[in-house]
Structure 1
């Protein structure tokens, strides 16, 4: 009878007639049974019908998005940890500038808008902010200012002029437009000449220090009858009739000197058709001059001068005029804080610590900063007083 395949040579069996150790038959049979069982258990098995149903249902729910994230893997802690790390990095990015900003606000609370801590610095900064350019006459006088004493460092403290422009920056020309038959170029020329007159008469350092106002005189038409002769007379021999301060802002250098290099300026110009075949310019400007005594004390006083001018550039084809010069048709002024009835060709500021030898003010009180009203003059017999300087 042939041998069964499972009964081949057993390990350890020697050749016929040889002597060697051998595995008992019982143990060998058990080994074969265990091996066969392990092979059967490790072979792929077809899932049961129930398992197939559960798997299919889960697959359909997953496709419809009905399963929560991570249902196969449990809580997505890796993703959550990643978001936490991003948050930490974001706070690190924001936190450093935020800390710097907090430190700056602690040192200077006025950096916050609206002065939330009630320091008052925001209001003070707003009060000192420059005013927009004046384009027409204001409707009321400027509001009251804090009663601060002017100093060399702040010569305009306590004055509405602290918010005004400095010097020439306060003389802003309106847009030049043609007026009737007068071209825009000629209108622009008239505006520039008017500004040159205002600067030369009121802002030129030489003029303010009492020198001859040559730049201003050079703008005026020498063919205008009597004008330059009268002005020259006033500059040479000032008197009540020929007083140069009616057109020029001049201080006696032996009595006072400017408190700094800034003169505050505010006003506006308007244009219209002239009476001499050209264009007429109306100028209304106020200048504020801080000064100290020339003999050394540092007490600051302010003189306020408002000037109203009407000038024209005439048509040289119709009138005997000098091209490129102004006809001075009218000029008027109002001077605040200057001694009355002194006709030596200079302005004389009053200082709080001393009184002048002139008469006590007996005229009406006026606000020299009120630019909303036209100039008014009495009969010249009274010395008025100002409500503030």
Structure 2
């Protein structure tokens, strides 16, 4: 039982709340034994504060208010930071709700492949086998490389990574670096330049080649002006007829490697082995996407101008070879002709062996020139 307060003692309602609050804190801190049931006065104050808090009438200095903010500015900044983070997290939750595939590992089973999020490392040596099988997905305008190993390849020029230039015999590292850069410029101009891919004259690629190399530019020019089986520009340049097809997006996937050694012309020889994947749609409107895969192997040299009649800063094209997947056979109009799944082949029925155009582990193989082979995937 509690004693009734005398008339000359202040009643519980007359004692300031902050005094009782301080008294309660000090008492609890000083007690070392197990906590006891709070007094009636403590219960009264606590209950009144709880009711005021529920009505939004919490007095200044309690939990919120000028006194707390002034005393604890550092904690206030921390709360602001968490508020900003909270907004970001909320936005992220909304974004994931709209597109669950943004989460790694596809935890909700949306069926979208996560391969695009894990690009392959640069190719520094010949692969030992063809790329593994990909999910059977139909390419679309949003994902033109769906169902293809190239979905994990680098985009365009990013896939042409130059090796570190080093001294080769009497050739300085600077001259080796120049040869590597010129080779990359040739590859880009012949296979990645948007205008050239759309059928324009590949001026950037031609500008890298030495005009003093006998017959080279004449033959290439003849093929660009009047394509024929003997002078077919697609043996060096990736070109599509703009009246027939157009690119499905701005990305061409690229994978390969470049090596160098001592050349036969007193300089440095460079070998480039790269595969390019081109997604296209018909030019007349339908959005069906197909892909043409072109592998090119080039051997070029930068000769010693002190010993040979060459143009400094230009390449000698010693050899070039190609393997083209998904393009009509025996068409010599200077363009690649992709075939669409919904249409029949424009050329003769395939009679040659089936090959995987993504297999970079083997050298380019050639038949007798009379066979039209098939590809196992595009």
TM bin, normalised by shorter chain, reads 0.7 to 0.9
- Does 1:340 pair with 2:329? yes
Residue 111 (structure 1) shift: 7.7
**Aligned equivalent of 1:129:** 118
- Does 1:162 pair with 2:151? yes
TM-score by length of 2: 0.74
Residue 164 (structure 1) shift: 0.9
Residue 124 (structure 1) shift: 2.8
Contact 2:210 2:315 in 1 (8 A): yes
**Aligned equivalent of 2:353:** 364
Map 1:106-185 onto structure 2 (within 5 A).
119-120=108-109, 124-126=113-115, 128-185=117-174
CA distance in 2, matches of 1:272, 1:279: 6
CA distance in 1, matches of 2:283, 2:368: 33
CA distance in 1, matches of 2:169, 2:239: 38
RMSD after superposition? 3.1
**Aligned equivalent of 1:56:** none
Instruction: Flag the 1:185–1:355 CA change in 2: closer, same or farther, 3 A.
Output: same
Deviations 1:218-239 (A, max 9, x none): 0000111111111111111111
Residue 241 (structure 1) shift: 0.7
Instruction: Flag the 1:193–1:381 CA change in 2: closer, same or farther, 3 A.
Output: same
Contact 1:113 1:122 in 2 (8 A): no
Residue 120 (structure 1) shift: 4.3
Higher CA-based Rg? 1
Map 1:63-78 onto structure 2 (within 5 A).
75=33, 77=35
Instruction: Flag the 1:105–1:333 CA change in 2: closer, same or farther, 3 A.
Output: same
Question: Which one of the candidate residues 214, 221, 226 is aligned to 1:232?
Answer: 221
CA distance in 2, matches of 1:280, 1:120: 50
Show structure 1 runs of 5+ residues with no match. Answer: 1-71, 79-92
CA distance in 1, matches of 2:128, 2:154: 19
- Does 1:255 pair with 2:248? no
Residue 295 (structure 1) shift: 1.1
Show structure 2 runs of 5+ residues with no match. Answer: 1-29, 37-78
Question: Which one of the candidate residues 271, 286, 289 is aligned to 1:282?
Answer: 271
CA distance in 1, matches of 2:101, 2:347: 47
Give the count of matched residue pairs.
308
TM-score by length of 1: 0.72
**Aligned equivalent of 2:204:** 215
Contact 2:105 2:114 in 1 (8 A): no
Contact 2:352 2:374 in 1 (8 A): yes
SS at match of 1:262: coil
Residue 159 (structure 1) shift: 0.8
**Aligned equivalent of 2:62:** none
CA distance in 2, matches of 1:339, 1:124: 30
Residue 384 (structure 1) shift: 0.4
